[in-house]
Structure 1
Amino acid sequence: MQCNVALERKLLQFSTFSALLFALLGIGFGLWMGSLVIIFDGAYSLVSLALTVLSLAAAAYIRSPAQKGSESCQKVEPMVIAFKGLVITLMCCVSLSSAIMAIVNGGRDVDTGLALLFGVINVVGCLATYLVMRKYGQCSGSNLVVAESKQWMMDTVISGAVMVGFIVATLMQHIGLAAYSVYADPVMVVVASVYFVIVPLKMMLGALKELRTPVDYRTVTGLR
C-alpha cells in the first residue's frame, strides 16, 4: 500500500500535540499529588512525544526526493521503530525499579479522589487519540503511523489500569483497608511495567527482523 505522505504528516503532528498535552498533564498532576503511577503515565507520554518527533524527522527523510528509492532510506523506518521499542522498554524497566523501591519503603499516600478524576480525563483523551490514529493510520499506509497508534493503545490501557487501580484504592479506604491502599500506587506501576514491556519488545524484534531481511517496507506493517 502506497503511503499517503500528507496524511502521514498530519497524523504524526496530531500525535505530537496530544503527547505533549498528556505529558504536561500527567507529570504536573503526578508531582502535585505525589503519585508515582501518574508520573509514570506522564513520563510515558513525554517519551512518546520525543519518539513522535523522531518519527516526523524520519518521515521527512524517507519521503525526501533525494532519498526516494534508496537502499539506506528503506532501512530508516525499521531502525526508528526498533529504537522506539528499545526506549519504551528501558522506561518500563526504570519505572519498575522505582515502584519496587516505593513498595519496600512503605508505599505512597495519594489523594485517590483527585487521582481518579485525572484517570477519567486521561483515559478519554488517550482513547480518542488512539481511535483517530488507528482509523486514519490504516488509510495512510505508513508504518510510522501504525507504530504511533500502538503507542497510543499502550497509553490508553495504562491509563485505564491506573483509573481502575485508583477505584480499588478508594474502595479500600471505605472498607477499613486504608493501611493497604498506600501500596496501590506503586503496585499499579509494577503491573503496568511488567505487562506493557511486551509490546515494545515485539516492536523492536519485528523491526530488527526486517532490518536483516531486505523487503519493500511500503507493503508490510513492520509491527507484527
Structure 2
Amino acid sequence: MLNLIRKYTSRVRSNNPEQTALKVSLFATALLGCTATLFAIWADSAALLLDGAFGLSDILFSWAALKVSRLIQNGHSKNYPFGYHAFEAFLNLVNALMAMALLVFSALMALIAISHGGRHPHSLAVAIFALFSAIVCLLMWRFTDAKAKESGSALLKLDVVNWQIDGLITLAISIGFFMATLIEHTFLARFAPYFDPMIVLFVCIIAFPEPLSIFKRFLKQLLGANTMPALSARINSLYTLAFLQNSPTFHACIHEDLDIECKSLELGRMIYIWIELKVPCDHKLAQLCHQFELRTDLERLYRHNFKDRNVCVDVIFTPAKQDLQFLQFA
C-alpha cells in the first residue's frame, strides 16, 4: 500500500503545472457544479441553477482541456504534422460560445419569471450556500491564475476567467439573497420574489462581455487575423536585437541594404514568427554560415523573450529585387 501511495505521489509531482491545475480544476468544478445544481433544485432558485449550469458546462471544458493539453505536449502526429495548437483555440472558442448561450438563455428565463410574479426560493439557505461557493471560486481563481502565469497556458487562462465569472455569479447571488432575507418581514416583502430573477438578469448582463471578448479573440486566431497588435509590434521590433548581437557595422548594413519583412501569428499558446530577408548577392548574409548564425540568434532571442509560449520561427533568405531582375534577364 505504501508503495502504491509513493508511486501515485511521485506521478502527481511529475506533472507539469498545467496538468496539475486542470485536474484540480476539474475536481473542484465537478464538486461545486453538481452540489449547486442539486441545491438549486431543492431551494427552487433560478440564480443558483445558473451557477450550477455554469459549473456543469465547465466540467466538460475542464475534461476537454486536459485532453487537449496532453495532445499539445505530445507534439505533432501523422495526421497533425504541425501539432495540436489549433485545438486549444477551438476549444476556447466553443467554451466561450457555450457561456454566451447559457447567459442569454438564463436572461430570457429571468425576464419570463419577472413577468410572472417572480420566484419564492429559500433565500437564507441559498445565500449561505452561495457565499461558501464564492469563497471556493475565489480560492480556485487564485490557484489557477498562478498556474496559468507559470505555464503560459491559454487553456488555464480561460479557466481563470471561468472561475472569475463563477465567483461573480455566486457572490452576487449571496448578496442578493441576504438582502432578500432581510426584507422578507418588512413592508418591502412584496419585492422579495423578484430578487432571484433580477439577480440572474444582473449577472448575465455583467458577465456577458467577457465570453464575448474571448469568442472574438479566438475566432480571429482561427481565421489567421492579428489578435494582439501590441504583441506583433514587440515581435517586429525584437529582430533588430539579433542584428546588434553580431556587430555595429553589420547592423548598419542591414538597414541600408536589406529589405526585411516580419509577420506573426498567435494560435493558442503558440506564436508563429515568419521573417523574410531579401539579400543582395554581394552581401555578408549571402553566405550560408552567416544565415545560419542569424537564424540561430533570432530563434534564441524570441524563445528567451517568450518563455511562457511555444515559439516557432521561420527565417527565409531570398535574393534582392535587383538580383532577381538580373537572374530573369540572364
TM-score of the two chains, using structure 1 as the length reference: 0.91
Distance 1:71 1:191 in 2: 43
Matched, 1:59 2:69: yes
Matched, 1:192 2:243: no
In the other structure, the counterpart of 1:182 is 193
The 5 Å alignment of 1:77-156 reads 77-156=88-167
- Residues 149-180 of structure 1: per-residue CA shift (max 9 Å, x gap): 11101111111111111122122224321111
RMSD value over aligned CA atoms?
Answer: 2.2
Identity of aligned residues (%): 24
Q: Which has the higher contact order (CA 8 A, sep 6+)?
A: 1
Distance 1:5 1:76 in 2: 21
Q: Which has the higher helix share?
A: 1
SS, match of residue 215 in structure 1: strand
Aligned counterpart in structure 2 of residue 218 of structure 1, from 270, 277, 284: 270
In the other structure, the counterpart of 2:212 is 201
- Residues 6-47 of structure 1: per-residue CA shift (max 9 Å, x gap): 211111111100110111111111000101101111111111
Distance 2:188 2:217 in 1: 44
Give the superposition deviation at 1:218: 3.3
In the other structure, the counterpart of 2:25 is 15
Give the superposition deviation at 1:72: 5.5
The aligned length equals: 219
Larger Rg: 2
TM-score of the two chains, using structure 2 as the length reference: 0.63
Runs of 5+ consecutive residues of structure 1 not aligned to the other structure: none
Contact 2:113 2:119 in 1 (8 A): yes
Contact 2:21 2:144 in 1 (8 A): yes
Runs of 5+ consecutive residues of structure 2 not aligned to the other structure: 1-13, 225-264, 272-305, 310-330
Distance 1:176 1:28 in 2: 32
Q: Aligned partner of 2:128: which letter?
A: L
